[in-house]
Amino acid sequence: MRRDDRLSIIFAVSEATPYAKTGGLADVAGALPQALVKLGVEVAVILPRYRGERAGTVGRCVKERVDVPFAFGTKTVAIYADEHKGVPFYFVDVPEYFDRPGIYGPNPSEEYPDNVERYAFFSRAVIEWARQCERPPDLFHCNDWQTGFIPLYLRTVYSAEPFFRRTRTLFTIHNIGYQGLFSPTLLERFGLPPEVYRTEGGIEFYGSASAMKAGIVFATAISTVSPKYAEEIQTPEYGHGLDGLLRARATRLVGILNGVDYEEWNPATDPFIAANYSVEAPEGKRLCKADLLRTMGLPEELDRPVIGSISRLVAQKGFDLVREAAEGLLHTGIMYVLLGSGDRELERFFRDWQRAHPDRVGIYLGFHNELAHKIEAGADMFLMPSRYEPCGLNQIYSLKYGTVPIVRATGGLDDTIQPFDPTTRSGNGFKFFEYRADRLLAAVHEALRVYADPSLWRACMENGMRADFSWERSALQYRELYERVIAGEGPFGEPT
């Protein structure tokens, strides 16, 4: 008998704030479960116990032994637990895989060569841990390739396990560009049957095995993080080779826009910024601008427009366009501030650019949460020229901070940003469509024309600041999706 009729969800993920973060996935895993708990859903988040959590005082050991069959033997792991804002978090402790610097690698441009093995093991450990719980979860909510093994294990190795007879899976694609490809020779090591290595209905992908494909093929339902991206990944341009499969499984694919945790990202309460402000009392933003310029070593020319960016510097994010547009950008009279890290060549370019224009360009290479908040508050505009963007969170944070987004119209950027129209005063930002440096510059010019008219600019800022992207709405959509999947409604009741 069920203890109660609340949905019980195990949310498996490779990173989650406030514990471990490289990008937006962590923000989602930190905030969505909170919103779900508020809606009465029982959610447990589970992630690896990385070095960061071991070094601090995070959590207590709640299970000393979970035996996980793997790599031709059995590995025993411990489970730690902590609670954050009403959400239980669990950590799989397996030092040989996770007691290392960083998360996916020692630094943002270097990955551990055994990453697929690390997360295959994590996935199996999540299942073994769940098996020891009092009752089975209704659904495993899996996120990105790192947890794509969970649906695969459940539908193969554990398919005859009565405990999981009614358990379903949802696989959320946060970024289809990262697929967890590996040699099929590893399948045996992971305890997976060789027949899963096939093209139709299996995980073969152009001569490799794919953990992303495992999630898409074997999950009961698939979701992604914006409606637009749900359409885009079904096209060859954005599908990274999986568009055909996604078209074939389109009835199971749903796009749910990410939300924002306004407890973390709100200029009215943000503890990291020089002065708090809001749409009713906006004066503080000017102080934040002065503080940002000081922090970045730039002259305090408060009337000069400042464009900011915060990003992983990888091909997805489109900073090759910024490099191409660099001269033109400075020609417009702006100052540019960037916080980011990743691609070494891009890092070098930005460092050199700053050296050449120390009074106009401020660059911080690295990961710095406090500075991210200062940029959101202190910049006038926020630039995200992404080649593709499943959802993107910074443009939504920017709206709240009155920092007008200039974006390329793709994925969640296209869903969240509407062009500002000076005649109707509607819209919250500026966007360009074609992936070209001259189009980026044209959007910046357009933004600057509006900026030059303080009343219009205020209107544009206010449209953004008043918008509500809180998690509540998205969490309702997730809850409804969970219910439909668990009930086996429509396509979710058909054999996969």
Near ligand ADP in 25-84, by CB under 6 A: 25, 27
Backbone angles phi, psi at 355, to 5 degrees: -60, -35
- Decide if 6 contacts 137 (C-beta within 8 A): no
| Rounded Cα gap, residues 176 and 464, in angstroms | 29
Q: Provide CB contacts within 8 A for 29, sequence distance 6+.
A: 11, 13, 15, 16, 17, 45, 47, 143
| Rounded Cα gap, residues 381 and 372, in angstroms | 14
Provide the minimum distance between the beta carbon of 227 and ligand ADP in the complex, in angstroms, as a whole number: 16
**Interface with ligand ADP, residue 394, by CB under 6 A:** yes
- Decide if 360 contacts 349 (C-beta within 8 A): no
Looking at 23, 52, 239, 282, which residue binds ligand GLC (CB under 6 A)? 23
Provide the minimum distance between the beta carbon of 141 and ligand ADP in the complex, in angstroms, as a whole number: 18
- Decide if 496 contacts 218 (C-beta within 8 A): yes
One symbol per residue from 8 to 27: x for binding ligand ADP (CB under 6 A), - otherwise; what is it? ---------------xxx-x
- Helices and strands in the chain, H and E counts: 17, 18
Provide the minimum distance between the beta carbon of 28 and ligand ADP in the complex, in angstroms, as a whole number: 8
Closer CB to ligand ADP, 177 or 239, in the complex? 177
Number of residues that bind ligand GLC (CB under 6 A): 14
One symbol per residue from 285 to 324: x for binding ligand ADP (CB under 6 A), - otherwise; what is it? -------------------------xxx------------
Residue with structure tokens 């379903």? 168
DSSP 10-47: EEE-S-BTTTB-SSHHHHHHHHHHHHHHHTT-EEEEEE
| Rounded Cα gap, residues 193 and 182, in angstroms | 15
One symbol per residue from 328 to 367: x for binding ligand ADP (CB under 6 A), - otherwise; what is it? -----------xxx-------------------------x
- Decide if 386 contacts 316 (C-beta within 8 A): yes
Near ligand GLC in 121-180, by CB under 6 A: 174-175
Near ligand GLC in 381-420, by CB under 6 A: 389-393, 412
Q: How far is CA 46 from the centre of its chain?
A: 16
DSSP SS3 for 160: coil
For residue 368, the partner it binds in ligand GLC, ligand ADP, none, with Cβ less than 5 to 8 A by kind, is ligand ADP
For residue 419, the partner it binds in ligand ADP, ligand GLC, none, with Cβ less than 5 to 8 A by kind, is none
Give, rounded to a whole angstrom, the gap between the first and last alpha carbons of the chain: 28
Provide the minimum distance between the beta carbon of 347 and ligand ADP in the complex, in angstroms, as a whole number: 11
Looking at 16, 25, 32, 346, which residue binds ligand GLC (CB under 6 A)? 25
- The residues binding ligand GLC (CB under 6 A) are 23-25, 28, 174-175, 225, 258, 389-393, 412
- The residues binding ligand ADP (CB under 6 A) are 23-25, 27, 310-312, 339-341, 367-369, 372, 391-394
